[in-house]
Amino acid sequence: MDKAELLNLYNSDLKELLKISSVHIKEEIELCSILNARNGKCSQNCKYCAQSSHYNTDIETFPLVDIETVKKAALDAKKNNATRFAIVTSGKTPDESDFDTMLEMIEQLNKIDGIKSCASIGILNEQQAQKLAKTGLKRFHHNINTAGSYYPEVCTTHSFEERLNTCKLVKKYGMELCCGVILGMGETVEQRIEMALTLADIEPDSIPINILMPVKNTPFENYQDKIDEENILRTLAVFKIANPNAVLRFCGGRMRLSLENQMLALKTCVDGIMIGNYLTKTGRDPVADMEMIKETGRKISCLTTSKAN
């Protein structure tokens, strides 16, 4: 589908649009969870981010956590029905001094029956991508975040191309790719279509959808009104239509949608949810999420199913 066709769909009747996207939803909803394994002190100036050292955001900073903390968090996530678990660290790239410990963390995650290892540790070079694949990392997460044409408005310390290159390396070395966006950062509707098409080009296995949760003292602190619930639903539907095989995954900022609209999205275009806490924000009680999913009538992807993937 080209840009004009997707734009046409975006602006069509909402009910009809969601009906079209619902054709592509999967049978089961996949749950995943993350651990914020290193927080803050990032040299980059992403204008939405609480962890950037360019802004005075008053967050707790900490160095890389130990392996036991990662194991415990992964086992807790498993208890809450998560089938994937990611270690997430701040910073443009993985610190060379931490990299071997991260590889060890991945080895430990792979030993947990029913949990697939994921990592979100920044921009990779060829050698790092190769090492991660060799260690058995199942999936690497790296967002495009926004449209290429809007990227300079969001961050100037690294480029959109560097992000795309990391996505390509992940694919090159045979890992699954989780690559998504943050909506509501001031992008236009056309730029939302641009994102959907960029993702269709990259072909991620999973597309995390974040909706901006403005952070005090960042340049985007007053951007709460840049997208409303209807436009979030329209974007989700167009993303699903452009990327029918990918799992669209609700991540940070999901609670900006009413429960009614979260359920509508789960019935028509979203196939996954990140449960538990987000990076610098507290998430929703996983038990409440289970109840919500049950109400939609969709099944939760179980451990045995996901192990076969």
Residues that bind ligand SF4 (CB under 6 A): 42, 44, 46, 49, 51-52, 90-92
Q: How far is the CB of 17 from ligand SF4 (least distance, A)?
A: 31
Q: Which residues contact 207 (CB under 8 A, 6 or more apart)?
A: 178, 179, 180, 181, 199, 239, 243, 246, 247, 248, 249
Q: How far is the CB of 241 from ligand SF4 (least distance, A)?
A: 28
Q: How far is the CB of 156 from ligand SF4 (least distance, A)?
A: 11
Q: Which residues contact 9 (CB under 8 A, 6 or more apart)?
A: 1, 17, 20, 237, 238, 241
Nearer of residues 22 and 45 to ligand SF4, judged by Cβ: 45
Nearer of residues 12 and 43 to ligand SF4, judged by Cβ: 43
Strands 139-141, 181-183: pairing kind? unpaired
Nearer of residues 44 and 301 to ligand SF4, judged by Cβ: 44
CA angle 273, 149, 262 (to 5 degrees): 20
Nearer of residues 33 and 146 to ligand SF4, judged by Cβ: 146
Nearer of residues 53 and 296 to ligand SF4, judged by Cβ: 53
Q: How big is the chain, counted in residues?
A: 309
- What does the DSSP 8-state code read for residue 160? H
Nearer of residues 51 and 243 to ligand SF4, judged by Cβ: 51
Nearer of residues 42 and 265 to ligand SF4, judged by Cβ: 42
Q: How far is the CB of 90 from ligand SF4 (least distance, A)?
A: 4
Helix, strand and coil percent figures for the chain, each rounded to 5:
45, 15, 40
Nearer of residues 46 and 200 to ligand SF4, judged by Cβ: 46
CA angle 252, 89, 124 (to 5 degrees): 110
Please, what sign has the CA dihedral across residues 145, 92, 213, 116?
positive
Q: How far is the CB of 46 from ligand SF4 (least distance, A)?
A: 3
Q: How far is the CB of 155 from ligand SF4 (least distance, A)?
A: 6
If phi > 0 it is left, if psi is from -120 to 50 it is alpha, else beta; for residue 183 that is beta
Q: How far is the CB of 180 from ligand SF4 (least distance, A)?
A: 13
If phi > 0 it is left, if psi is from -120 to 50 it is alpha, else beta; for residue 120 that is beta
- What does the DSSP 8-state code read for residue 308? T
Q: How far is the CB of 40 from ligand SF4 (least distance, A)?
A: 8
Q: Which residues contact 48 (CB under 8 A, 6 or more apart)?
A: 154, 182, 185, 212, 214, 215, 218, 220, 223
Question: Half-sphere exposure of 81 toward its Cβ, with a 13 Å CA cutoff?
Answer: 21
